Amino acid sequence: MAETARKTNIYEAITKCMEEIGAVGKNDVNTTQGFKYRGIDAVMNAINPALVNNHIFIVPEVLEQTREERKSSRGATLIYSVCKIKYTFFAEDGSSITAVTIGEGMDSGDKATNKAMAIAFKYACFQVFCIPTEEMQDPDSKSHTVEPKNDFVPATVEQLRTMTDFVSAYSDMCENVTSNDIWKTLKERYHFEKTSDLSSEMASKIIEQVKYWYKKKKEE
């Protein structure tokens, strides 16, 4: 009697996938803010052969979704969607693991939810398969400049002080780059003229951005 071949469980299958999936570089460019990111097509092209070879399939389940209308700086109506999605990764023996991620998407048409789901899936794959890249900062495909909501909360004095300290420290580490040059880049990227225009949320994002630059420079 022929011996039945043992089917691979999900842990073995994922380990084999990790061996086959290479780094996915940030080769796409955000058309609004100019930064590079790893697009969903690049991720799918990288993982699909490994999924097929190791008989893994993925089932999504939307756990939560919120949608709201926002206005761009030019007055256009934008749909902002946030999706919390559970992804179940199945192996050929029926074993599985789950990953829950959150995706955010914004669009002037009907693609906000699609964008949110694509981003959630992308990060689920990053986390499960530990897909490497040359950089570890994450952006998304296309962003919109949104007017502050009525509940605008200005940046705190402490946030502005931290921001200024990191800008100064980073400029000291760079050759032929002044603090003014860095502030100019930040103003163009985050669309503000004065620090008094910044919300607390936006200030936090800028601080994280400058911290990232600082740490990368320090590691060189």
For the chain, list the domains and their CATH numbers: 10-129 (3.30.390.80), 157-219 (no CATH)
- Encode 133-169: b = buried (16+ Cβ within 10 Å), e = exposed: eeeeeebbbbebeeeeeeeeebbeeebbebbeebbeb
Distance CA 47, CA 49 (A): 6
Helix (H) or strand (E) holding 63: strand 57-71
Distance CA 32, CA 121 (A): 23
Q: What is the pLDDT of residues 57-109, one digit of tens each?
A: 999 999 999 998 887 777 788 889 999 999 999 999 999 999 999 999 888 87
Q: How far apart are CA 39 and CA 25, in angstroms?
A: 9
CB distance 35 to 139 below 8 Å: yes
Q: Which amino acid is at 96?
A: S
Backbone angles phi, psi at 199, to 5 degrees: -85, 165
The single residue listed with the structure tokens 């420079």 is 217
Higher-confidence residue of 133 and 12: namely 12
The C-alpha torsion from 19 through 135 and 56 to 6, rounded to 10°, is 20
The DSSP code for 86 is E
Q: Residue 62: in which H helix or E strand, if any?
A: strand 57-71
What predicted TM-score, i.e. pTM, was given to this entire model? 0.54
Question: Around Cβ 102, how many Cβ atoms within 10 Å?
Answer: 14
pLDDT digits (tens, 9 = 90+) for 39-53: 778 888 888 999 999
Q: Facing residues of 72 across strands?
A: 146
Angle at 189 between CA 183 and CA 190, to 5 degrees: 85
Residue, of 132 and 198, whose pLDDT is higher: 198
Quickly state the pLDDT bin for 167 (edges 50, 70, 90). Answer: confident
CA distance 123 to 119: 6
Given a cut of 50, is residue 1 above it in pLDDT? no
Integer angstrom CA distances of residue 61 from 40, 100, 172:
18, 9, 48
Residue type, 106: M
pLDDT (tens digit per residue) in 103-135: 998 888 788 899 999 999 988 998 898 887 654
